[in-house]
Chains A and B, each alone.
Chain A
Amino acid sequence: MDFFAKAFTEILEWITYSGGIMPALLKGGLVSLRVFILTLVLSLPLGLVVALMRISKIAPLKWVSSTYIWILRGTPLLLQLYFVYYGLPSMGITFDGITSAVVAFTLNYAAYFAEIYRGGIESIDRGQYEAAKALGFSGGKTMWKIIIPQTLSRIIPPITNETITLVKDTALITAISVSELLRAAKGAVNRDLDTTAFLLAALLYLFFTLILTIIFKFTEKRCSRHIRRES
C-alpha cells in the first residue's frame, strides 16, 4: 500500500514539475517552429527556381545552379550557419540569430529540394513534352500545367524526408545561441539537474514530425489519384 502511495506521489510530483517547465519548452518550441515554417515556405520555391535553372538550356544559368548545389550540399549545414551568423557581419551584413538560421537553412534546403525537383522533372517521359508542344502549349505552360503536376506524386515522399530532417536540424541553431526548443530543454536540465526536460523535448519533436507525416501522406494521396492501384 505504502509503495503505491509513494509511486503515486512521485508521478504527481513529476507531472507538476513537467507542467512547470512546459511553458519554457513550448516557448522554445515556437521559435523552432517559426524557423521551420519560414525555411520551408522560402526554400520550396527557391529550390524550384534553382532546379529550373539547372535544367535550362542556358549555360550560365546551368553553371551557377550546379555550383550552388555543389557548395550547399558539399559543406556542413552547421558551417553554413556559422558563416551566415559570424562570417557575414565582417562583410557588413548582420542578421539576428533567427534570421541567420532562416537564411542558412533556406539556402541549404533549396539545394536539396532543387535536386528532388530535378529528379522529378527528368523522370517525365519526353512524349509528354511533345504532346504539349503539338497542342500549342508554350514552354512555361508545359512546365506548369503538364510536367510539374505529374512530378508531385513522385517528389512528395523525398520532400517529406527532407522536411522531417529539417525539423531535427532546427536544433542546430542552439549553436548560435538562439533559445529554441533544445536550448530551452538544456537550460532546464542544467538548472534543475533533472533530465525530464530532454524527454519532453523529444516528445515535442516526435509529435511534430508525426503531424507532418500525416499531412504529407494525405497530400501524396491527393496527388496520385490518377495512378491506378494494382490490387
Chain B
Amino acid sequence: MAILEVCGLKKNFGSLKVLKGIDFQTEKGKVTSILGPSGSGKSTFIRCLNRLEKITEGTIRIDGETLADTVDGKVVYAPEKEARRICGKTGMVFQNFNLFPHMTVLENVTAAPISVQKRPAAEVEETAMELLKMVGLSEKAKQYPSSLSGGQQQRVAIARALALKPEILFFDEPTSALDPELTGEVLRVIRDLAAERMTMLIVTHEIEFALGVSDQVVFMDGGYIVESGTADALINHPKNERTRAFLNRMHEV
C-alpha cells in the first residue's frame, strides 16, 4: 500500500513556478532518494508534504488519508487538527538540524511526544534514551545542543524525529551543513534505519550513499520529476539527458 501518494503537485511562490506537476508515490519500508541540481525544487517538494509550504495545486495522501486535495481548481486542506494528526505520521530532519537550543538533548527528543502526543513522560523518556543509544549519544542526554558537534546534533535531530514514531521520515540534505569528516556518522544512522525498513525520503547530494541505501531514486529538474527508477538503473543507466548531465557533473566534483 502506498504510504505517500502525491498527484499533480504544483507550487508557486508568487509568480515563480517552482513545482510544475509532481506525481510520486512510495510504499512502506521503501527508501527513496531525491537528486537534482540546486533550485530544482527538491526542498520545496518535501516541505510541501508536511505543510511547511502550502501547495498551489494537487493532491497529497499520507497513509491513505488526504492531507490536501484540489477541488474545482482550489486546494482544500484537511481541517487544522486533522491535518496536524496526518502530518504527525511524518517526521522531518533539516539541513541545519534546528534543535531547540534551550533544551537538553533528552528534552529535545521528549518534548513533542510529551506535549503533542500526550504520551506518559516515563515511557517517552525510556524510548528517548533507547533512540539516543541507537544514534550513539546516550552519554550526551543531559547536555545542551551548543556543546555538540554538527554530526552529533544531526543525530539528535534524527532521534527527535523518530521519537514521534512516524510512518515516514523526510530528510532535506541531512549532511550538507556538516564538515566532510562528520557526514559518515550521520549516513551510518540513516543506513541503520534503512536496514530496519524505515520508510524514508531523502534529498541528498551524496550519490554513492543514495546508490547504496535507496530502493528508488528520483531525479528532479526544473520543477518536474524527470526520471525515476531503481538506484542502479537511474545512476548507472540514466535515460534522460539532464539526468546524465547532472550525474556527470557530480562525478567530476
Binding site for B on A (CB under 8 A): 125, 127-128, 130-131, 133-138, 141, 145-146, 149-150, 225-228
Contacts and interface: CB of A to CB of B under 8 A. Distances in A.
Given A134-B52, A134-B92, A228-B146, A128 B100 contact: yes
Interface in B142-177: 144-147, 160-161, 164
Contacts of A136: 84, 87-88, 112, 116-117, 164
18 contacts: A128-B98, A128-B100, A131-B100, A134-B92, A136-B112, A136-B117, A137-B116, A141-B115, A146-B100, A149-B102, A150-B100, A150-B101, A226-B101, A226-B102, A226-B103, A226-B145, A227-B101, A228-B144
B58 interface: no
Interface in B69-107: 84, 87-88, 90-92, 94, 96, 98-103
B111 interface: yes
B17 interface: no
Interface residues of B, number: 29
Nearest to B144: A226
B91 A134 contact: yes
B112 A130 contact: no
Contact of A127 (B84, B94, B160): B94
B147 A228 contact: yes
Contacts of A131: 92, 94, 98-100
Given A136-B112, A136-B117, A228-B147, 7 more contacts: A128-B100, A130-B52, A135-B160, A135-B164, A137-B115, A141-B116, A226-B101
A149 B108 CA distance: 14
Instruction: Give chain B's interface secondary structure class.
Output: loop
Indicate the member of A136, A145, A227 with the most B CB atoms within 10 Å. Answer: A136
A150 B145 CA distance: 13
Contacts of B50: 133-134
Contacts, number: 63
B197 interface: no
Contact of B102 (A133, A135, A150, A228): A150
Contacts of A127: 94, 96, 98
Contacts of B52: 130, 133-134
A136 B88 CA distance: 6
Contacts of B160: 135
B243 to A, nearest CB: 30
B51 interface: yes
Interface of B: 50-52, 84, 87-88, 90-92, 94, 96, 98-103, 111-112, 115-117, 144-147, 160-161, 164
A227 B164 CA distance: 27
A143 to B, nearest CB: 13
A133 B116 contact: no
User: 10 shortest A-B CB distances, which residue pairs?
Assistant: A131-B98, A135-B112, A134-B92, A127-B98, A226-B144, A228-B146, A136-B116, A149-B102, A136-B88, A226-B102
Indicate the member of A128, A133, A134, A150 with the most B CB atoms within 10 Å. Answer: A134
A71 to B, nearest CB: 34
Contact of B111 (A128, A138, A145, A226): A145
B91 A226 contact: no
A135 B84 contact: no
Contacts of A133: 50-52
Contact of A227 (B99, B100, B146): B146
B45 to A, nearest CB: 15
A127 B177 CA distance: 14
A50 B172 CA distance: 36
A135 B116 contact: yes
A134 B98 CA distance: 11
Nearest to A136: B116
Contacts of B146: 226-228
Nearest to B95: A127
A130 B100 CA distance: 11
B100 to A, nearest CB: 6
A145 B91 contact: no
A134 B145 CA distance: 19
A152 B185 CA distance: 34
Contacts of B96: 127
Nearest to B47: A130
